[in-house]
Amino acid sequence: MTDASWPAPPVVDRATWQAEIDELRAREKANTRERDAIAAARRRLPMVAVDAATPLHGPDGTTSLLDAFEGRRQLLAYFFMWHPGHPAAEQCGGCTWCASQVRELSYLHSRDITFAILCKGPYAESVRYRDFLGWQTPWYGVPELSRTSLLVGRDPSMMFIVCYLREGDQVFETYWTTRRGVEELDNSYALMDLTPYGRQETWQDVPPGWPQQEWQHAGGNLDGRPIPHWPRLAEGWSDRLDG
């Protein structure tokens, strides 16, 4: 994955280096303030009612969207793409990237937020994928009719983050995002963006000669599989999804 012949940034004295960082820092601070302003506007959005009884499939059989809140006031749901009947190696690299980032949930719980993955596929098959990857995130299968109801007006084949608010037994949708918006789940890309070579993806603006490659899917596949598969296989975990 690396090559000693890759070009590197120019070497300068520390004062010159710090001056350029200070200039960039002003832009970073402006970006932070704009992100805060956008978040403030997001908190002021109206909301729309959804059917709290929308069925989901979970570890105890058929359940509901309301139950997925686990008694908390807010639900942050990631809608995971799924290819029924396909082996683990052919499941979505982008969704695997997103779901693999969210591990510690106690910080969300402390703010009355439940995080759950709503998989657009059969529960029994897809939950084996979660278990193969060692995730502990609450996981539900979303029947096709429920997908139509919960993602009304949106392409159900895409990945989404959707935020819900519970008022007693009523549920409301407050916000949703897709495409680059799902990077809010990620820390790996954010850390890559701090490094000299960044994400090494072909769409990025980089100096001439900087390393770039075309990943097979958003989030990255390596040798035909989503990247998080490889360490689990090396530990001896089975990726069979057929029971």
Judged by DSSP in three states, 94 sits in helix
Query: What is d(CA 210, CA 201) in angstroms, rounded to the nearest whole number?
Result: 10
| Residue 195 resides in a domain | yes
Domain count, the chain: 1
**CATH, residue 66:** 3.40.30.10
Q: Are 127 and 94 in contact (CB under 8 A)?
A: no
> Domain of 179?
41-243
Cβ-proximal residues to 100 (8 Å cutoff; 6+ apart), any chain: 133, 135, 228
Percentage, residues of the chain above pLDDT 90: 53
Which residue has 């897809």 as its token pair?
A: 126
| Residue 32 resides in a domain | no
Q: Are 185 and 78 in contact (CB under 8 A)?
A: yes
| Residue 29 resides in a domain | no
Which tens digit of pLDDT belongs to each residue from 138-190? 999 998 888 888 999 898 888 899 999 999 999 999 999 998 888 888 888 88
Which residue has 């090396």 as its token pair?
A: 234
Task: Give the number of other CB atoms < 10 A from CB of residue 180.
Answer: 9
Per-residue pLDDT at 206 exceeds 90: no
| Residue 25 resides in a domain | no
More confident residue, 125 or 209: 125
For residue 140, the one-letter residue type is Y
Query: What is d(CA 49, CA 172) in angstroms, rounded to the nearest whole number?
Result: 4
| Residue 34 resides in a domain | no
Which tens digit of pLDDT belongs to each residue from 11-63? 999 999 999 999 999 999 999 999 999 999 999 999 999 999 999 999 999 99
| Residue 71 resides in a domain | yes
The whole-chain average pLDDT of the chain stands at 89
Per-residue pLDDT at 225 exceeds 70: yes
| Residue 22 resides in a domain | no
User: What are phi and psi for residue 124, nearest 5 degrees?
Assistant: -60, -40
| Residue 191 resides in a domain | yes
